Structure 1
Amino acid sequence: MKLCFASVDRGVCPMRIGMRTFVAAALSALLALTGCSSAQEPASEQQLDPANPVQIEVWTYYAGHQQQAFEDLVAEFNATKGKEAGVSVTHASQGGVNDLAAAVTASAEELVGSAPMPDIFLTYSDTAFVIDGMGKVADLDPYFTAEEKGAFIDSFLAEGDFAGDGGLKVLPISKATETIQINMTDWETFARETGSSLEEFETIEGITALAQRYYEWTDAQTPEADDGKPFFGRDSIANYLLTGSKQLGHEIFAVKDGVCTPDIDKNTMRALWDNYYVPFVNGYFSAEGRYRSDAIKTGDLICYIGSSSSVVYFPAEVTVDDQTSYPIEFGALEAPRFAGGVSCAPQQGAGFAVAKSDERTELACVEFLKWLTEKEQNTSFSIEAGYIPVTKEACTYENIEAVASETGNTHDNYLVNLEATLETVSDGVYANAPFEGGVEARVVLEKSMADKAAADRDQVVAAIESGESRRDAVARFDTDENFEAWLESFTADLTAAIGA
């Protein structure tokens, strides 16, 4: 595990260590779970005519800086490649992710008051799968040669192959994963005084042990008992359950032909429970604030696992109170795994789907998307959005760093986190296949264990405040019976969401 870090005062990364050549090679060697070896030629482009340009509309959920970056690219395309080919693009942001999904779904269903479907829309696979089920998503595979498809990182492209037959319903544009994000300033004090090591972050069990040690270390610094501080948090519990289970050999969302049959293994779920619920009710982990970076800012956490695209929100200082604050260094490590488990981190980031239409309109859409995923455009946009590019040629440390350095306005944390991101991707990323009920099922994963851990922690805190020891208070919850009752409830809720 290789650390990158940067001082907020210097704004540089003094340790860009790691096997960058290996990372680039590993990314290039990623194999898709489904084949992308079709040898067909792309559909003809003869229907496009510069004298009679095709007008296409794109919907996204981009806002702020991302929206401006995307609209700059649209303007560049219209003035160059689009003008030459006979394609003119307009863009409309529909608000947030959920707003866009709702708007596109309403359009596909032709609900009263909904706008006509856009020609291209930004989407996650679950939403695209639903709309594809209505017969309204174009298969882009005929428009790409085998060589063109081979330019993409295989697992990124495979996410858009819903049926596993080589189809392409969602084209990747920019991607992310999860990384460990650390307040290095306070970590170094703790590590020095306890002999803790960054190598312990390599495994999920190691993080649990670190968190307990940190709680006990902070507890010992005050005369009061059982007032230690939490060490670690997670932005997404659904990601933890999905990837952690897969690391241990079981795919919770096991999908075949669009149908999910949950693979819920008791021993695997116990390992997940023991490394989230148990440390949480003990006070070693926490989930304060909307995102865990909020607790970093107040000094209530040392580290967390979050999206690699979220590093721009990692605070530059800790604010203890109105009178006390201090600067901190940001550090990043690749995502951990269970001891003995396979490497597996979440594959994140939406892609573009094209509404099924006539061939001329689909050709125009593909013309824009191919241009958008070319090395130069895709690298610059991905950096601006906080993501990584989607082709093997573009998604290398050297290329991304060079482009970021040229622009001069890349957030410092992006480059600090970049090597950890690329190493995580090269070790193995995962996105479950979409299925009916997938959105509802993910909500169960996100809330079931997390909500129970938070509610039971509240009871433990109340017991401590009334004079009971933490050990005794936790003992009532850290039982086989409590785990089995939760697992039964979780299984029932998940089965109901899936409709199995």
Structure 2
Amino acid sequence: MKRTKLAFLVLSAMLIVTGCKEKEQDLLNKDDPVTIEVWHYYNGAQQDEFNRLVREFNKTVGKEKGIVVEGSGQGTISELEANVLDAIQGKAGADQMPNMFAAYGDAAYEVDQLGYAVDLKPYFTEEELSKYVEGYITEGNFSGEDSLKIFPVAKSVELLMLNKTDWEKFSSSVGVTTEELSTIEGITETAKKYYEWTDSLTEEQNDGKAFFGRDAFANYMLAGYRQLSTDMFSKENNKIVLHFEEDVVRKLWDNYYVPYISGYFDSSGKFRSDDIKVGNILACVSSSSSVTYFPDRVILNDEESYPIELKVLECPKFQGGKDYQIQQGAGMLVLKSSEKEQRACAEFLKWFTSDEQNIAFSTASGYLPVTKSANNLDKVTEVTKVEQSVKKVLRTSFEMIGDNQMYTSIPFKNGTTARAFLEKGMRDLAK
């Protein structure tokens, strides 16, 4: 009797697996290929690598399974999101809707509310999903339905990038160490010491120089609030709630507004790497993907310049705060179409995020791979040649990911507007 039951279970499982394979085989057929269009905002090295990988897929796995991928750059991320929404809503002059596009949370939320976001979970096994960094998969479950609507393809984190050459002159004179740069409060105190030290080098009073700046101010607000308390924006009873405790916000204020108006922080150029390039500051918190823009010289004027070396440190956190760090980088959102096209999108994403392909795509422009096994410097250097500056960023990023819970705020209606307010509010007031 037991043998009969066991045989029945085995036979049933075989029939289910065979049926699934036959279903997939019927849908994806090399003799009847399907074309899927991917819209993105990539440029430079990232776009070149994406196009190369698309060509490789089409010649290999795509050819075997009957999938042809076509990539289309849509300008900036804002232009891409606007074009996708225009296509979904069928506006006059809009292109036909793509099969998938590079999406951040707020755009994904809007598309999902329109009913066009595909849940990719049914196309992946639990074993397949377990290979990805947990926080990256969790970000795709923004609708709270145990779904996966943003699929990770490349990520970035925030790091502290330092002009090591000038830092060593300052640190040896004043007696500060890089350990003091591990906290937000330490950055503030060190910036004050740097201002006072540079002020002492001249006879003129109050002409000290700024030490620090940051690129994405909204990240400081969101990550800082999470480290000190909870999510600034949370969803309760299907409503978005703003948390704004006075003591927490005061700490955020004291460690940006006060040092900024005191001359310890600065943000003069378009990006903080621009400020480091002209010697306005020594250190900045920037995206790991911005390492390719970090200068190798400080240019004082048309005639004076000197070489500098990059040092990369983990992004500072609030002293005594929880171990949260911001994760960034758009994923891919698949738009509703035929089952055949949706399955083809999933097959491309599986291939694209396999270690070899994903390492090549990510490291081409300082981004991070999305699988656990690929978040390893030895693994990365086995697969591709990496510039020294990118290697520094990857090493520090992997260590930071291992030590912290990676965090992104929840997407919601008008979330982009809320983030823009956080980005500009205190920063503009300080200016």
Q: Partners in 2 of 1:223 and 1:401 — Cα distance?
A: 50
Report deviation, 1:257.
6.7
Report deviation, 1:416.
1.4
Report deviation, 1:344.
1.4
Contact 1:258–1:436 (CA under 8 A) maintained in structure 2? no
Structure 1 segments (4+ residues) deviating >4 Å? 40-44
Match of 1:418 in 2: 394
Please show how residues 142-181 of structure 1 align to structure 2 within 5 Å.
Answer: 142-181=122-161
CA RMSD of aligned residues (A): 1.4
Q: Partners in 1 of 2:427 and 2:380 — Cα distance?
A: 36
Quick check: 1:429 aligned with 2:406? yes
User: Structure 2: which amino acid aligns with 1:345?
Assistant: Q
Match of 1:8 in 2: none
Quick check: 1:232 aligned with 2:212? yes
Q: Deviation digits for residues 312-342 of structure 1, max 9, x if unmatched?
A: 1000000111111100010000011111001
Q: Deviation digits for residues 224-264 of structure 1, max 9, x if unmatched?
A: 11110000000011000000000001211113476320111
The change in CA–CA distance for 1:87 and 1:56 in structure 2 (over 3 A counts) is: same
Q: Partners in 1 of 2:358 and 2:170 — Cα distance?
A: 40
Match of 1:185 in 2: 165
Please show how residues 451-462 of structure 1 align to structure 2 within 5 Å.
Answer: 451-454=428-431
The change in CA–CA distance for 1:128 and 1:373 in structure 2 (over 3 A counts) is: same
Quick check: 1:271 aligned with 2:251? yes
Q: Partners in 1 of 2:361 and 2:238 — Cα distance?
A: 32
The change in CA–CA distance for 1:265 and 1:149 in structure 2 (over 3 A counts) is: same
Q: Aligned with 1:254: secondary structure?
A: strand
Report deviation, 1:404.
3.4
Larger deviation: 248-257 or 221-230? 248-257
Quick check: 1:438 aligned with 2:415? yes
% identical equivalent positions: 44
1:120 counterpart (97, 100, 106): 100
Q: Partners in 1 of 2:61 and 2:102 — Cα distance?
A: 21
Report deviation, 1:106.
1.1
Q: Deviation digits for residues 121-163 of structure 1, max 9, x if unmatched?
A: 1111110110110001111111111111111111001111122
Contact 2:40–2:80 (CA under 8 A) maintained in structure 1? yes
Q: Partners in 1 of 2:117 and 2:307 — Cα distance?
A: 49
Report deviation, 1:417.
1.5
Q: Partners in 2 of 1:243 and 1:370 — Cα distance?
A: 31
Quick check: 1:90 aligned with 2:99? no
What 5-or-longer segments of structure 1 have no aligned partner?
1-39, 455-500
Q: TM-score, normalised by structure 1?
A: 0.80
Q: Partners in 2 of 1:255 and 1:350 — Cα distance?
A: 22
2:24 counterpart (45, 49, 54): 45
Q: Partners in 2 of 1:184 and 1:247 — Cα distance?
A: 28
Please show how residues 297-316 of structure 1 align to structure 2 within 5 Å.
Answer: 297-316=277-296
Q: Partners in 2 of 1:257 and 1:319 — Cα distance?
A: 54
Q: Partners in 2 of 1:52 and 1:250 — Cα distance?
A: 52
Q: Partners in 1 of 2:179 and 2:70 — Cα distance?
A: 49
Q: Aligned with 2:384: secondary structure?
A: helix
Q: Aligned with 1:172: secondary structure?
A: coil
Q: Partners in 2 of 1:262 and 1:227 — Cα distance?
A: 40
Q: TM-score, normalised by structure 2?
A: 0.93
Q: Deviation digits for residues 443-483 of structure 1, max 9, x if unmatched?
A: 000000000001xxxxxxxxxxxxxxxxxxxxxxxxxxxxx
Match of 1:30 in 2: none
Match of 1:389 in 2: 369
Count of equivalent residues: 411
Larger deviation: 256-265 or 413-422? 256-265
2:302 counterpart (305, 308, 322): 322
Contact 2:34–2:66 (CA under 8 A) maintained in structure 1? yes
What 5-or-longer segments of structure 2 have no aligned partner?
1-15
Q: Partners in 2 of 1:349 and 1:342 — Cα distance?
A: 22
Contact 2:208–2:263 (CA under 8 A) maintained in structure 1? yes
